[in-house]
Homo-oligomer: A and B are copies of this chain.
């Protein structure tokens, strides 16, 4: 089954398009997991326990796992999410050349991390992404218009053809989508751009980050981020929140009430699900 079919099933069964970003910043982990062998894994496991009923997918960002223990925590996290029936999108923003990018693509293989989908950076062009694209059952989300302030530095540059660079990237991704496994990353903080990119690629699902801590537009994220796809009962796409869910407990928990900390993450995921569902 292809990634987008898996994702469509998951969206239908959970009635949720929420992607929960698993970014376990070591400096923010609660005392309850500090003594674990792998604190990031202990944290993620409890977050997954608390949120999986509302999660269309999990999105660990590779930056939070770039050390030996981190990689082990990431492996455990992906396996555990799979055990709960939730697909995993590795937010790695990778791309390299030739034999090197083939190594990165192995993160999608069963004898690698076994992630179901990955984010990639288009700056190095098609051949840098080909080993990802060739894994037909896996999803490949190409960065298009990102949610950060500097996203405009390159992505908004006007081309001689009159379009901004990010629109050309959307059109290129459509060309690269021979296996029907390409998605796009378009930030919720760029709501006009969301509408414009949707016009260019009517059937490509988006990953829309930025509705949580970054304050993006939830209505635009749902309206333009989801795509009707042949054979799917529901529109397909995901809207991500990371810190707004996993660290929700920082606000609500009191000392000694560990359950409250992770319960708050579950509540935050459920609230975001409902908020997004208003527009579906």
In the complex, the chain B residue whose C-beta lies closest to that of A75 is B68
Q: Is the CB of B143 within 8 A of A125?
A: no
Using CB atoms, name the residue of chain B closest to A100. Answer: B63
Q: Which of A58-73 contact B (CB under 8 A)?
A: 61, 63-64, 66-72
A153 within 8 A of B: yes
Question: A97 at the A/B interface (Cβ < 8 Å)?
Answer: yes
Residue among A97, A99, A104, A162 with the most chain B CB within 10 A?
A: A97
- Determine the distance from Cα of A70 to Cα of B53 in the docked complex, in whole angstroms: 34
A153 partner residues in chain B, CB cutoff 8 A: 122, 125-126, 172
Given contacts A66-B71, A128-B148, A159-B160, 13 further A-B contacts (CB under 8 A): A25-B103, A66-B107, A68-B68, A68-B75, A95-B121, A124-B150, A125-B150, A126-B150, A127-B148, A128-B146, A129-B150, A153-B172, A154-B169
* Interface 1/0 per residue, A88-121 and B, CB below 8 Å: 0000011111111101100100001000000001
Is A196 located at the chain interface by the 8 A CB criterion? no
CB distance from A221 to the nearest CB of B (A): 16
Given contacts A127-B148, A154-B169, A172-B153, contact A64 B25 (CB under 8 A): no
Q: Are A100 and B162 neighbours in the complex by a CB distance under 8 Å? A: no
Q: Tell me the bound Cα distance from A42 to B212 in angstroms.
A: 45
How does the 8 Å CB contact mask read for A117-146 relative to B, with 1 for contact and 0 for none? 000011111111100000000000001001
Is A152's beta carbon under 8 Å from chain B?
yes
CA of A52 to CA of B269 in the docked complex: distance in angstroms?
53
